[in-house]
Chain A
Amino acid sequence: MTHRISRRSVLAGGAALLSYSALAPRAFSQEARLRLLWWGSQTRADRTNKVSELFKKANPGVAINGEFLGWSDYWPRLATQVAGGNAPDVIQMDYRYIVEYARRGALAPLDSYLGSVLKVEDFDQVQIKGGSVDGKLYGISLGANSTAMMVNTVAFEEAGVDLPTPSTTWDELARMGLEITKAGKRKGYYGLSDGSGVEPLLENWLRQRGKALFTADGKIAYDANDGAEWFAMWQKMREDKACVPADIQALDQFNIETSPLSLGKAATSYAHSNQLVGYQAINKDKIVLRSHALINKDAKGGHYRKPSMFFSVSAKSSDPELGAKYVNFFVKDPEAAKILGVERGVPESASVREALAPSLDDLGRAALEYVSGLGALVGDLPPPPPSGAGEAELALRSVAEQVAFGQLDAKQGGETLVNEVTQILSRG
């Protein structure tokens, strides 16, 4: 009935024609529909939507609805949708949450599509394992990255300090920070950001000491002594003014825009390699990536190649195979790779990396070279963080602030941190 009426109105006039064509794809001729959800910036959204267009062209009759949010709004939205039984078909998933979602039955295991729909044979096997929970594959890595120090080259140059190298130790880095602060070339400027509350940085430091944040069975993997030494190291840098004071560091909301580096307060910041693009976009001075400092000259590096994020398929998806097909297109199609660049991290597929390299801009190439050039600094991928890891990260931040503002000394800080994290993990 309505069908016929709309057909008549097509003949009636131009405006109606427009509305008809807008309604038409919904009304009929639609075989399959995919819903995507991811977190990230507008740049990422533009790139993702372009790839979706390509996929639609290669697969006529498929409609794709993509939606994106910022990181902190993303997880409430996803959890609510999953709870309401209307989860998106393809879900961007983080290493931190994949275990929780997989164990709660929200994600579809992808093993049966391996080799047929998912052609990820040339992926680094470590990264395939990274997307597995309890022996089943729940996420396809969209790229690798590693933690990194963002360095403002101009500020170093102004102060006459050489840039850190892969063999720079923490002692040397502290001295560099001190020199930049002392040089006083910029108003209210310090050498280093205070990294005492930055979890990936603590993890790097712990790994150099042969420890880790969490054990494979989800317990804390360092002790109060480690914590105390960590806080003492930063305490000394604060006292020396090698790094920013507590009330400046506390402005950092752990995103690119509010880091002391971006606020023009310090010459370094601690982040992930794929964020270089974002850092450079809002900083006038040239920013480069450097590996984290070493605890001593002979120390092994604490870095690892981390899956920056995954695509997972919802367990409730009406067409999980189509979802898997989309994911495969996303990580393997050469045209898609050119659109995506290294914005989500360095592609896992060797062939895609090769195809991509010539078309990358300077920033993309810098990120790619950083991640593939870490060499001996790279170790094994740690097990996925247990549930409660997000809370543990907030606890580190809070204890670090208590030490920085002088409410706890370094030793008490180490004890408090270990107590709080142990309690959080036991609650799960």
Chain B
Amino acid sequence: MAAVQDSAVVVGAGAQVRPAAQGRWASIWAKHGAGYMFLLPWLIGFFGLTLGPAVASLYLSFTSFDLIRAPEWVGTANYVRIATADPKFAAAMQVTFLYVVLSVPFKLSFALLVAILLDRGVRGLTVYRAIFYLPSLLGGSVAIAVLWRQLFAGDGLINSLLAQFGIEGPSWISHPNYSIWTLVVLSVWQFGSPMIIFLAGLRQIPTDMYEAASLDGASKFRQFYKITLPLLTPVIFFNAVVQTIDAFKAFTPAFIISGGTGGPINSTLFYTLYLYQEAFGNFRMGYASALAWILVLIIALFTAFSFLTSRYWVHYDD
């Protein structure tokens, strides 16, 4: 008994804080413990498989690392080479930007168009939704990329169709002027996931607005332009950001269609494909890590830019 009192006196001020702190943690645990336990698998995944490797790759980006020998610190040499002496980096950038600029607007416009058509109370909507969403699920897969290769090869289905009209098409996937377009078409074909989100957004728009507008004699086009589009801007914004990030990260289709070379003549050399070549083709892990961080930076800049400009064109319901 006395001992307990003594220790309480000796510890002094600290002792007054501790029980309180313990109590706070205990009550937090009692309140949220179960939640954190349920989160645990995700937390382990996030720290072990995402954050940990990301930090490691940041370190590796300042080294020369061939996977076999220990990494060797080279300071900013990798970044200097990217900025000054790597023509393939420039080529990859060009291809990737072209792809982003082409595929995102086409895909979003198409997704919106289909969403509007489906919104007009089509019978069997759920079936159409599922069918149109399917390509998004399949699109990233190797099998679809292989199929695409077959479709657009010199004697593929596309050219057979063209031949019906007497047009002799080139081998789309293996001609540097056209190969990027086949990848853009493949991307547009996977319009399902933005389409579903557009559809949900369209459903949020109160129908009485349209009724009022048509009573006032507004044409369908004017209704779309004055009601649908402005009220849909938050959804468009969301889709644009997500799809842009996705497009920057695109890899599989280019990898399959070019057989991993990014050819013909670097015309399908997506940024991630070049990164992969450097990492696993030439065993330059350090350099590839630096490339990866440049990509992170670019995506971050793009996203920040979108958010900054969004206040001028995104209208939230208020």
Chain A interface (Cβ < 8 Å from any Cβ of B): 72, 75-76, 79-80, 82-83, 100-101, 104-106, 188, 246-251, 253-255, 258, 265, 388, 390-391, 394, 397-398, 401-402, 405, 407
Contacts and interface: CB of A to CB of B under 8 A. Distances in A.
Contacts of B174: 247-251
Nearest to A253: B259
B263 A247 contact: no
Contacts of A246: 175, 264
Contacts of A249: 174
Contacts of B277: 394
A253 B261 contact: yes
B69 interface: yes
B261 A80 contact: no
B201 interface: no
B259 to A, nearest CB: 3
A246 B178 CA distance: 13
Interface of B: 66-69, 153-155, 170-171, 173-176, 258-261, 263-266, 277, 279-283
A401 B263 contact: yes
A401 B267 CA distance: 11
B154 A251 contact: yes
Nearest to B282: A391
Contacts, number: 82
Q: In terms of DSSP, what is the predominant structure of the interface of chain A?
A: helix
Contacts of B260: 72, 253
A105 B277 CA distance: 23
Contacts of B279: 76
Given A80-B67, A104-B69, A397 B153 contact: no
A37 to B, nearest CB: 15
B266 A79 contact: no
A247 B265 contact: no
A402 B282 CA distance: 22
A73 to B, nearest CB: 9
Given A247-B174, A248-B174, A251-B173, A79 B68 contact: yes
A405 B178 CA distance: 12
B67 A82 contact: yes
Nearest to B91: A398
Contacts of B66: 79, 100, 104
Given A75-B281, A247-B171, 12 more contacts: A80-B67, A105-B69, A106-B68, A250-B174, A253-B259, A394-B281, A398-B263, A398-B265, A402-B265, A405-B264, A405-B265, A407-B176
B265 A390 contact: no
A390 B282 contact: yes
A251 B155 CA distance: 11
B177 to A, nearest CB: 8
Contact of B265 (A255, A265, A407): A407
B280 A79 contact: yes
Nearest to B85: A423
